Structures are given as structure tokens and as C-alpha cells.
A and B are shown apart, each in its own frame.
Chain A
């Protein structure tokens, strides 16, 4: 509707709720539209989870664990390395004090987990991306957007129909040919 949107080559419909969106997605799949081209957007997590491309969710915990491991090694190396490089005697303590180094190791481990998790999230969620996504204002009103990216020109009508069917999209928007990925 606004100028920015005109640059996208997309056909989408606005559905009132998840159920409508789900049925639209069903229709699109029935049309044999490439699953990777189906786009769903909502302003809240949808109850029905498999509206779009299924993704393996197992990677993130492992990445987090790896981050923790890196953090642990970094923390311990920092602590013990500092102590060994500048071996100063204090309070009759050993030069490398394992007990106290555990604390820094612990903190660095958890910091590693946190940072790895967030990085993993950003990477896998493809954030940040600086070009505008589809942002129909009705999404923020609670509507669900279902669309097809770069729809084959010949099937535009089918897709529009599919969007409307089954109590689906109340409104259809077609945008320009440019890829927005």
C-alpha cells in the first residue's frame, strides 16, 4: 500500500486468525507451490506451528553448549594464564589458585552460552536484515499474513484464488517483481 511495498514481488493475503491462515497454507500446498516460497508473518507466535517450512530446532542447544565450552576454556586460560605470566605471591596462596579460578571459569562459561545462543538466534533467524520485510499494518492488529514470494507469473491467479479460499485472506496484495530476500 505504501511505496516501499511496491518493490516486492509477492502476492499475499491477510487472514483474520491462525485458523484462516492454516487453511490458506493448506490451499497453497495443494497448489503445489514451493514450500520455501510460502511466507507467513504474524505479530505473535502462532498456535499452529507448521505453517511454514519445517526447521530442525536441534542446533541451538548444541551451539549454546559449544559457546559454553569456549567460554570455559577462555575463562580458565585468562585466570590461570594471568597468574602464571605474572607470578605474584599474595596471602600465602598458590600462584594458580584453582578454587578461585573456578569462579571466573564459571562466569565465562555462562557468558559463552548466552552469547552463543544469541548469535545462533540472530544467524538462524536471519537477523538483522536491513531491508524492509512485508509489514502490512494489519499484522500488528493481529492478522496473519500468508503469501507467496516471487510467484510464477503464470500462476498468480491460482495463488490469489487459493489465498481467498476456505475463509482465508480477506484482502489480497500484489507487489512488484523485485526480490526482497
Chain B
């Protein structure tokens, strides 16, 4: 596929790891500074009180839970896509899977921070954990937040292992290439991987089982996140559609995040030969599909609410569609449906740039979607006397920005420490797939090529 020899592949993909450019430092310092700002904001919030955030009565959940749902959604990029592609043996998956899995792990780590950040007394967060303690009180396993705890932990463990297992052979590769102290580190990380056929076979079997298991985990994670809302009798939250709706939205935002990450990597690490139009196109098509699925869910949700005409729900519905949140709502529709639909369904526009633009729009739109699910419902609960509004504060905005920076920083560090494309999988795929000259612009040509060189 890449038309490169195994040696060239190794050189190309290990170069970003072994050679450090000023760009890495620039990116790390810049992103790190933002992360530090976010940590400072969090520290301020801890010492002064959660009141420095904009949450209030009745909008007890705001940016933090929006970010939580958003990042947990983005985490579906990854493992889910990579697992599906692995199971379906999609040949173009090979340069994509590791980045996707890394997104999953980082997005989960960031997302899982938010329930802690948003706590009124975060220093007591360990009370969510079932451990035998002096006070002899265990968490309430009926609470969706405890379900979250279990689901996210399972997903985090699963996807981390899913990322790390296929990393081992590449670590072995690094062990051979690296010099100095890093060599020792990689040697430890490689766990003594030898690359015997026996080990390869085991790895593949394990990956196969993991891929099968990680899909229901991912589905359940976002379903449970949706249950955080659906279990509460809040207008427009208390919905049976929320489980699949959230999962679809999660995959949707996950693909978008993956496309954006790939585009950045492609440019920053000069991986044009590996991340080709083919990949963006294929993921773009998936994105288009998910956009349509998402739109279907939004339509179904809003139609039934409108038709049902339950006063409390309609109050929220209209607050969103034509009330104070209308601007955000229609921006969301534009970002999540109109723009992706245009960019991705018209072949001429489905370039790398086009796909990336659509993906950026989807990320914005999906963040808005999370916000619009959470906040408007809380501003308009059952008793109109207690209706309210919500304005985020600088602290919340800083922490939100910092998490995006944290995502970037983790990615930068990860791609610095490890090959961001699975080298052995790429080599393996290269040998199995026909050689395609780089720079091809058309999928059909790839197909034709494939037929020509069986």
C-alpha cells in the first residue's frame, strides 16, 4: 500500500520517535502551558469552592458534565472503530488503528476526570469506590454514577490494554533502534518480546478476543453515560432513545476526532505516504453515515416530544429550537448535518481538507449537542418558578480549553514516545496488499489497481 520497503517504513515511522524537532518542544510547551492553566483553575476551584464555576440552581450540571459526555463520546473513536475495522479485516485500517486507540485512552482519561472536577467535595471522590472502610458505607450501586464508575473503568482498562498489546512488537523494534537511556526504557516496555510465530499467534488471538469484547463495552459505556440523564425525571432527559442516540453520537464524534488527529499527524510527522486520501475518504464515508444516523435520532427524539406535547417537555423543546438556545441549536444542526452532508456526499469536496473541515465542524457540533442535551433541560424543569439560566465562568472555560490542550499534549507525547502508526501491522498489511503508488487521489483507482495486481 505504501510502496515502501519494510526498512523504509521502520525509518519513516520511527523517525518522529527517535529524532526530536523544535516543533515537538514548541507544541509540548504551548499545550503544557494550557494544561497548567487548567490545573491552576482547578486548584482555585478546589480551594475557593465549586461556586467559581457558573453552575447554579437549577442548572447544577454545566460545562463539566458537557465535557464529560463529550470526551467519553470522543473515546469511541477509537477502540470501537479500530475493533470493528479489525474484525471486518478492513485493509485500510492499519495506519489508523493505533491513533484511534490512543484517542480512546486519552479521551477516556480526560473524560473520566470531569466527574471529579465537577464534584462539590472532590477530595472525597474515593467514596465512589467500593472498598471496605472504617465507616462501613459502600457506594449505592443503584446510582448511574456508580454504573459510570464501573463502565468507564472497564472501558479504560480494556482500551488501554487494547492499545498496549499491539504496541509491544513495535516497542521491541524501538528497543533495537533507540540509544542511551531510552533504550533501557523501551527494553523494559517491550517485556522481552521476541517475535516468535508462537507469540505472534497469541497476540493475534488475544487481539481478536479483545476486539470482540471491546465493542459491547464501548456500547455499554455510552449507554450508561446516557443513563445518567435518562434515569432522572427531567424533561427531555427521561427518554428511552438516549442509549442508542448517545452511542451513535459518540461514534460520530469519535470518527471526527480521529480524522482531525490523523490530519494533524500527517502534517506534523510527515506521514503523507501512510495516511492517504484513501483513509480520509473511508473514514469520511463512515462519518457521513454516522451524521445521517445522528440526524435520524435527533429528528425522532424531537418529533415524538413535539407530537406528545407534554407541557414540561415542550417547554424545553421550544427553549432549544426557538428560545434562548436556538442559536446554538441551529449551529449544531449546521455543524452536525448540513456541513458534513455537503462536504462528504459531494465527491469533489470529499478531499482531505474537506473531510477535515467536516470533522472539525462535527466536533464543535457534537460538543454543542452535549451542552444542549444537558443545560436547557435543567433550565426548564417542571416548576416554572424555578426556571433558570446558565453562564459559564472563566474557570470552566479555562478547564475546558485545558482538556483540549491535554488531549493534544498527550497525543504529542504519545507520538513522541511511540510510533503512532502500528509498524508491524503496516508491514504485514503491505505484504498482503498490492503496492499502490503514493499520491493516488481516487479510491476507484485503488480498486482498479487492486484488481490489476492480485
List A residues at the B interface (Cβ < 8 Å): 39-47, 49-53, 55, 57, 60-61, 64, 75, 78-79, 82-83, 85-86, 88, 90-91, 93, 97, 100-101, 103-104, 106-108, 110-111, 113-115, 117-118, 120-122, 124-135, 137, 139-142
Contacts and interface: CB of A to CB of B under 8 A. Distances in A.
Interface stretch (B168-176, B296-304, B351-359): B168-176
Given A100-B142, A103-B147, A118-B161, A133 B176 contact: no
Interface in B186-219: 187, 191-206, 209-210, 213-214, 216-217
B427 A43 contact: yes
Closest CB pairs A-B (n = 5): A142-B6, A128-B191, A129-B192, A121-B206, A133-B194
Interface of B: 5-7, 10, 130, 136-142, 146-147, 150-151, 153-154, 157-158, 161, 165, 168-169, 172-173, 175-177, 187, 191-206, 209-210, 213-214, 216-217, 220, 224, 227, 423-425, 427-428, 431-432
Contacts of A49: 197, 201
A140 B190 CA distance: 14
A100 B141 contact: yes
Nearest to B217: A110
Q: What is the predominant secondary structure among interface residues of chain B facing chain A?
A: helix
A142 to B, nearest CB: 3
Given A43-B173, A103-B150, A125 B158 contact: no
A44 B194 contact: no
Contacts of B154: 107-108, 110-111, 114
A40 B142 contact: no
Contact of A44 (B147, B158, B177, B427): B427
A43 B424 contact: yes
A87 to B, nearest CB: 12
Nearest to A117: B209
A118 B169 CA distance: 15
Contacts of A134: 194
A91 B424 CA distance: 54
A90 B431 CA distance: 61
Given A82-B138, A117-B213, A127 B192 contact: yes
